[in-house]
Structure formats: structure tokens, C-alpha cells
């Protein structure tokens, strides 16, 4: 079975993301957001390509608003990269895979 981006919530964000043993790319999204839906397949493909070296997770802004507030997410899609539990990179808006790969490369 191929890897896909996993859903996380306000309740398990710290356990899954901040305490991870490898970098984690977090996709803040909402089902009503068209550009967010465009990003889904890109992030699923990246999750498969980077399996074992990078975790990719999704936070539904409507279901987990506290996590979005904590990190100042006010526009979606927003991609936040955490490494060693710390926020190291932020990308806002729909981005091509090549740009995302370039932005995270130094942290893998």
C-alpha cells in the first residue's frame, strides 16, 4: 500500500508533528478550498516518494482551528515544515511540487 498524507487534529498534533523523529510537512486545508483540493494529489505523491524520510500530514482548518491559530495560519492552503519539533519553513498558497521539494530539501 502506498503512503498518503495522514489527517491530524488539535488533539494529536503535538504527538504526531512536534515529537516526530523526522521532518513533518503539515498541510492546512479545508474541503471547501479549491486550491487545497489541487494540492491533495501532489502531497500524496510526495508522501509516497519520501516515505521513511518525511511525514506529510493534513490539518482540516474547520475541524482543528486551534492548531491553525497557534501557528498563525490565516490563508490556505498553507504548508508548514517542522524539523526537530520546530517550525522551519512556511509556504502559503497552491504551489507546484518542484517548489515544495526545493523548499524542504535542506531539511531532509
The residues that are catalytic are 33, 36
For the chain, what percentages of helix, strand and coil (3-state, to nearest 5) are there? 35, 25, 40
CB 3 within 8 A of CB 84: no
**Residue 77 Cα distances to 15, 60, 99, angstroms:** 22, 10, 14
**Phi, psi (deg, nearest 5) at residue 43:** -70, -35
CA–chain centroid gap for 101, Å, is 13
Amino acid at each position: 500500500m502506498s503512503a498518503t498524507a495522514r489527517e491530524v487534529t488539535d488533539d494529536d498534533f503535538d504527538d504526531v508533528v512536534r515529537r516526530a523523529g523526522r521532518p513533518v510537512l503539515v498541510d492546512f486545508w479545508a474541503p471547501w478550498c479549491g486550491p487545497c483540493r489541487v494540492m491533495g494529489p501532489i502531497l500524496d505523491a510526495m508522501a509516497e516518494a519520501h516515505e521513511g524520510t518525511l511525514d506529510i500530514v493534513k490539518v482540516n482548518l474547520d475541524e482543528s482551528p486551534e492548531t491553525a491559530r497557534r501557528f498563525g495560519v490565516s490563508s490556505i492552503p498553507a504548508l508548514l515544515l517542522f524539523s526537530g519539533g520546530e517550525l522551519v519553513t512556511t509556504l502559503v498558497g497552491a504551489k507546484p511540487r518542484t517548489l515544495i521539494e526545493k523548499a524542504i530539501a535542506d531539511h531532509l
